[in-house]
């Protein structure tokens, strides 16, 4: 029994380390297939309707409880690390110092109900903000990755001064203040909660934790206290980072137990058991908290309804009326329609991190409130969607971006270039430019005769894929003479016509 | 033969200086020195594989040892602007780059660096152009050009529009460098050859586009650190939809190579070859005439000693 904890720790490291390294990797050296580790996360599996993964996760929970929270969820492991580290800073250097706390039922069930309800109403606002895997993704993307890049670039600068180019500079471009602040808020909140109270966040805020808590009430194997051998020493209670063991009452709150098995490893008298406990527990559960749960339910629904009433339904579903945000946001290729994308994307920032062009950025209000953190394309000099690349759609764990072969991606129209002659260098300065056409992979933007031997761009919309090469390089400042208007529904562009082949044989120099 | 060539070129230089006082100075000290030494201002080869053509041409120019001395640091600047495979002719032929590195190494170069300030994802450009593999195989080193920190500002005193430019430090710090462009159609500049290839040693290209592209290209050819040679790859050229091309139908295999220390002459010759495939008015490629006006070189190929070799 005692080794169960070690197995749990080993498993957690086995999941956490690759996920962490994969998310932070900016060199592209780690295999892209590692995104499989993210597809087995709860919310991504649910959103992508990956029935096999869902079934496996449900079975595991029904058998052993919240194993997911203790081993697979990177945010859970992050909290364990935080809680574990805090020990070295506490005055008494005590290994375990938890005490039993009552569950925050109103809060946790309200949050879960709100998350589900708002999602059903068509906005994934709370799913995006509260999915634990995605929060972890954002912590890496917004807080830790920039530090790694900073270190890398420092090394690169020193080496390049010594004519060594083995480490090269990677530009930091994805900084978006709103995304940073929100991520920092969650980082601080979760760090503090876990530092002082273990898994309090998982058992109070996290909707996945709450759901799994409900599920694990039915689990086959569970922690229980053996009343005959227990001497109420309280060691298990002190070691319980979920603060769900009440050693005085000799009860374990199954809904909050994350199956970490710390209690098993500290009990010296085999007073804590992990065993088949289906029948016995069932009666217990229905017994005590009946009154409480009804009250909780009423309060919960009250909270939910009032929140919904306060929140303008329109804002929640992501429609915006702000005139300054006139451009339709440009979704990554494979997003399908804006409704599909906004519903499925959890803003985990994986595509943002993996985009070799760094053209993807977390949205602020481009998609409305519910789309905060969801990626959109943001063009700037040399930053546009690479024609020969489908990395974003191939790594997306939630199915928000449909995976597709590269030849198909090359025809996905994510937006359409709009040319504004009155701002174009050729018309204004009467000098040649053509930077836009140069960067156009399909030649949807091509140069046509203007005057005095000059040529000016023209757009063939049905072969434009909206990659933004033209907008990114347009030298007209501050507003580009050519820009991409996003498509609300991505469609297939026509295949550009091939040039006429030159068959004649040339065997003269011509000069 | 050599003596005759010497007299010929001396006569040409002399004549040129009478009729167009600027041209002599314009063909740059390096260029005129070379023409005096070997009598060859330009070599054009046709009908061979890139490596064979390069070896033949370098022989005519007096051998690689004339340009690269033992212990020198060499930089090669091909066009690697686009994430396209070699068959598209969007980038310089990798075999040509590899062959040039081998020559430089054989002449005793201590290191040969290769870079471009690419237009697309630089790592993909380096890899998919085939140039990275060719360079590493031949013993050269790929250097990134993707960050402003690799560039240093220099004055361009003769520039009309371009007065200063940030140039890649590999160029500024080397002993000798070779400009190795590919001959291409180009939507903005009409054609991309040796002078247009200089935009890849510069950091801020948008300045070019917003301040009379052609003039800036001509200005950039006046920078103090000139390439020893412009080696124009015309093994495959891009006849249409340049500079990146849509499909392989935009490429035409000419199996040719044009080498000259003179920017203007190299680009003029390349344009004449290009016009056989895609009729183009050379006057529309305005930076060529502008560069001539800045005394960068000459468009009058008939006044140069041009060596033509068919294999």
pLDDT, one tens digit per residue, over B68-121 is 999 999 999 999 999 999 999 999 999 999 999 999 999 999 999 999 999 998
pLDDT value for A406: 95
Read off the pLDDT of residues A469-501 as tens digits, 9 standing for 90 and up: 999 999 987 788 999 999 999 999 999 988 899
Q: How far is CA A227 from CA A6, A271, A280, A454, B38, in A?
A: 25, 7, 13, 92, 103
Question: B210, A453: Cβ pair inside 8 Å?
Answer: no
Q: For testing the chain A interface, which of B197, B206, B214 should be mutated: the one with the most A CBs within 10 Å?
A: B206
Per-residue pLDDT band at A297 (split at 50, 70, 90):
low
Question: B206, A439: Cβ pair inside 8 Å?
Answer: no
Q: Name the residue facing B269 among A437, A441, A511 (closest C-beta).
A: A511
Q: How many angstroms separate the CA atoms of A284 and A264, rounded?
A: 22
Whether the predicted model's global pTM rises above the 0.90 cut: no
Enumerate the residues of chain B whose CB falls inside 8 A of the CB of residue A473: 119, 206, 209
Question: A438, B301: Cβ pair inside 8 Å?
Answer: no
Enumerate the residues of chain B whose CB falls inside 8 A of the CB of residue A157: 149
Q: Measured between CA atoms, how close is A341 to chain B, in angstroms? A: 26
Name the residue in chain B with its Cα closest to that of A447: B187
Query: Which residues does B253 contact at the CB level (< 8 Å), separation at least 6?
Result: B235, B236
| Locus of tokens 């001539």 | B292
Which residues in chain A are classed under CATH 3.30.70.20? 338-492
Read off the pLDDT of residues A429-440 as tens digits, 9 standing for 90 and up: 999 999 999 999
What size, in residues, is chain A?
A: 511
Q: Which of A17-26, A81-90, A495-504, B24-33 has the lowest mean pLDDT?
A: B24-33
Enumerate the residues of chain B whose CB falls inside 8 A of the CB of residue A165: 141-144
Q: Name the residue facing A357 among B121, B241, B283 (closest C-beta).
A: B121
Is there a cis peptide before residue A98, judged by omega within 30 degrees of 0?
Answer: no
Q: How many angstroms separate the CA atoms of B26 and A223, rounded?
A: 89
Read off the pLDDT of residues A404-429 as tens digits, 9 standing for 90 and up: 999 999 999 999 999 999 889 999 99
Enumerate the residues of chain A whose CB falls inside 8 A of the CB of residue B112: none
User: Is the pLDDT at B31 greater than 50, yes or no?
Assistant: no
Q: What percent of chain A has pLDDT over 70?
A: 88
Question: B273, A357: Cβ pair inside 8 Å?
Answer: no
Specify the higher pLDDT residue, B117 or A167.
B117
Question: A388, B46: Cβ pair inside 8 Å?
Answer: no
Enumerate the residues of chain A whose CB falls inside 8 A of the CB of residue B298: none
Read off the pLDDT of residues A352-407 as tens digits, 9 standing for 90 and up: 999 988 999 999 988 988 899 999 999 888 899 999 999 999 999 999 999 999 99
Q: For testing the chain A interface, which of B75, B121, B303 should be mutated: the one with the most A CBs within 10 Å?
A: B121
- Tell me if B184 sits within 8 A of B273, measured CB to CB: no
Enumerate the residues of chain B whose CB falls inside 8 A of the CB of residue A438: 119, 186-188, 243-244
Question: A508, B209: Cβ pair inside 8 Å?
Answer: no
Query: Which residues does B302 contact at the CB level (< 8 Å), separation at least 6?
Result: none
Architecture of domain A338-492: 2-Layer Sandwich (3.30)
Question: B308, A477: Cβ pair inside 8 Å?
Answer: no
pLDDT value for A42: 94
Q: How far is CA B266 from CA A452, B26, B31, B195, B199, in A?
A: 26, 14, 12, 9, 17
**ipTM higher than threshold 0.90:** no
Q: For testing the chain B interface, which of A457, A507, A510 should be mutated: the one with the most B CBs within 10 Å?
A: A510
Tokens of B22: 């600027």
Q: How far is CA B270 from CA A42, A101, A292, B191, B260, in A?
A: 61, 82, 87, 10, 11
Enumerate the residues of chain B whose CB falls inside 8 A of the CB of residue A171: 146-147
Per-residue pLDDT band at A285 (split at 50, 70, 90):
very low
CATH of range B42-310; options 3.40.718.10, 3.30.70.600, 3.40.50.11440, 3.20.20.70? 3.40.50.11440
Phi first, then psi, for residue A425 (nearest 5°) are -50, -40
Read off the pLDDT of residues B172-206 as tens digits, 9 standing for 90 and up: 999 999 999 999 999 889 999 999 999 999 999 98
Name the residue in chain A with its Cα closest to that of B188: A434
Q: Measured between CA atoms, how close is B104 to chain A, in angstroms? A: 19
pLDDT value for A287: 41
Enumerate the residues of chain B whose CB falls inside 8 A of the CB of residue A506: 252, 254, 273, 276-277
Q: Domain locations in chain B?
A: 42-310
Q: Name the residue facing B273 among A429, A499, A509 (closest C-beta).
A: A509
Enumerate the residues of chain A whose CB falls inside 8 A of the CB of residue B110: none
Enumerate the residues of chain B whose CB falls inside 8 A of the CB of residue A510: 272-276
Q: Measured between CA atoms, how close is B145 to chain A, in angstroms? A: 9
List, as one string, the DSSP characters of B98-156. Answer: HHHHHHHHHTT-SEEEE----SS-HHHHHHHTSHHHHHHHHT-EE----SGGGEEEEE-
Cβ pairs A/B, distance under 8 A: 143
Read off the pLDDT of residues B133-146 as tens digits, 9 standing for 90 and up: 999 999 999 999 98
Buried b / exposed e over A321-342, threshold 16 CB at 10 Å, is eeeeeeebbbbbbbbbebebbb
Per-residue pLDDT band at A306 (split at 50, 70, 90):
low
Q: Is the dihedral of CA A375, A379, A382, A384 positive or negative?
A: positive
Question: A386, B120: Cβ pair inside 8 Å?
Answer: yes
Q: Measured between CA atoms, how close is B76 to chain A, in angstroms? A: 16
């Amino acid at each position: 029994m005692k080794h169960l904890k070690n197995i749990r720790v080993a498993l957690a490291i086995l999941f956490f380390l690759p996920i962490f390294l994969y998310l932070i990797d900016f060199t592209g050296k780690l295999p892209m297939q590692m995104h499989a580790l993210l597809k087995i996360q709860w919310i991504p599996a649910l959103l992508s309707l990956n029935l096999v993964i869902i079934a496996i996760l449900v079975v595991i929970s029904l058998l052993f409880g919240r194993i997911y929270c203790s081993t697979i969820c990177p945010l859970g492991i992050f909290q364990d690390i935080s809680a574990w580290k805090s020990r070295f800073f506490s005055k008494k250097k005590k290994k375990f110092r938890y005490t039993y706390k009552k569950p925050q039922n109103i809060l946790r069930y309200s949050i879960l109900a709100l998350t589900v309800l708002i999602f059903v109403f068509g906005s994934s606002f709370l799913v995006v903000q509260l999915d634990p895997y995605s929060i972890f993704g954002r912590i890496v993307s917004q807080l830790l990755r920039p530090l790694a890049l900073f270190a890398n670039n420092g090394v690169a600068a020193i080496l390049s001064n010594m004519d060594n180019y083995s480490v090269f500079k990677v530009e930091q471009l994805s900084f978006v203040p709103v995304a940073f602040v929100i991520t920092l808020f969650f980082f601080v909140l979760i760090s503090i909660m876990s530092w002082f109270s273990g898994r309090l966040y998982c058992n109070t805020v996290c909707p996945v934790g709450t759901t799994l808590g409900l599920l694990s009430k039915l689990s086959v194997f569970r922690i229980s206290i053996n009343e005959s051998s227990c001497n109420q020493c309280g060691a298990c209670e002190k070691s319980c980072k979920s603060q769900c063991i009440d050693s005085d009452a000799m009860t374990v709150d199954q809904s909050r137990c994350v199956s970490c098995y710390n209690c098993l490893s500290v009990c010296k008298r085999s007073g804590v058991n992990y065993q088949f406990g289906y029948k016995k527990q069932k009666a217990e559960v229905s017994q005590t908290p009946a009154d409480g749960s009804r009250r909780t339910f009423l309060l919960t629904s009250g909270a939910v309804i009032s929140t919904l009433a306060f929140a303008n339904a329109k804002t929640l579903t992501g429609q915006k009326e702000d005139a300054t945000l006139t451009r339709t946001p440009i979704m990554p290729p494979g997003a399908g329609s804006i409704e599909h994308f906004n519903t499925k994307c959890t803003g985990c920032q994986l595509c943002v991190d993996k985009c070799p062009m760094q053209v993807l950025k977390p949205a602020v209000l481009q998609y409305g409130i519910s789309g905060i953190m969801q990626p959109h394309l943001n063009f700037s000099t040399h930053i546009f969607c690479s024609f020969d690349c489908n990395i974003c759609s191939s790594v997306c764990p939630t199915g928000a971006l449909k995976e597709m072969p590269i030849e198909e991606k090359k025809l996905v129209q994510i937006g359409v270039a709009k040319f504004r002659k009155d701002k174009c260098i050729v018309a204004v300065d009467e000098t040649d430019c053509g930077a836009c056409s140069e960067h156009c992979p399909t030649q949807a933007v091509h140069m046509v005769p203007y005057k005095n031997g000059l040529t000016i761009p023209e757009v063939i919309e049905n072969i434009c894929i909206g990659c933004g090469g033209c907008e990114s390089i347009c030298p007209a400042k501050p507003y580009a003479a050519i820009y991409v208007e996003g498509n609300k529904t991505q469609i297939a562009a026509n295949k550009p016509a091939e040039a006429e082949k030159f068959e004649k044989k040339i065997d003269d120099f011509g000069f | 033969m050599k003596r005759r060539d010497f007299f010929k070129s001396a006569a040409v230089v002399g004549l040129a200086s009478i009729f167009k006082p600027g041209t002599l100075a314009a063909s740059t000290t390096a260029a005129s020195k070379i023409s005096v030494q070997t009598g060859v201002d330009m070599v054009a080869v046709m009908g061979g594989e890139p490596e064979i053509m390069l070896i033949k041409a370098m022989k005519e120019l007096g051998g690689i040892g004339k340009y690269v001395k033992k212990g020198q640091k060499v930089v090669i600047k091909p066009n690697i602007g686009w994430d396209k495979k070699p068959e598209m002719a969007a980038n310089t032929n990798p075999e040509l780059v590899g062959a040039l590195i081998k020559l430089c190494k054989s002449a005793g170069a201590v290191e040969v660096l290769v870079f471009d300030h690419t237009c697309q994802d630089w790592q993909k450009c380096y890899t998919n152009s085939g140039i990275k593999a060719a360079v590493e195989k031949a013993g050269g080193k790929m250097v990134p050009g993707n960050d402003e920190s690799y560039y240093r500002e220099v004055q361009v005193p003769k520039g009309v529009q371009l007065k200063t430019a940030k140039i890649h430090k590999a160029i500024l710090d080397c002993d000798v460098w070779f400009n190795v462009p590919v001959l291409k159609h180009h939507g903005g500049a009409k054609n991309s050859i040796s002078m247009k290839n200089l935009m890849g040693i510069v950091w801020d290209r948008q300045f070019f586009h917003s301040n009379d592209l052609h003039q800036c290209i001509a200005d950039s050819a006046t920078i103090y650190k000139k390439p020893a040679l412009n080696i124009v790859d015309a093994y495959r050229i891009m006849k249409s939809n340049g500079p990146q091309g849509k499909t392989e139908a935009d490429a035409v295999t000419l199996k040719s190579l044009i080498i000259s220390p003179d920017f203007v002459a190299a680009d003029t010759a390349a344009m004449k070859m290009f016009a056989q495939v895609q009729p183009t008015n050379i006057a529309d490629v305005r930076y060529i005439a502008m560069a001539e006006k800045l005394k960068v070189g000459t468009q009058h190929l008939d006044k140069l000693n041009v060596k033509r070799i068919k294999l």
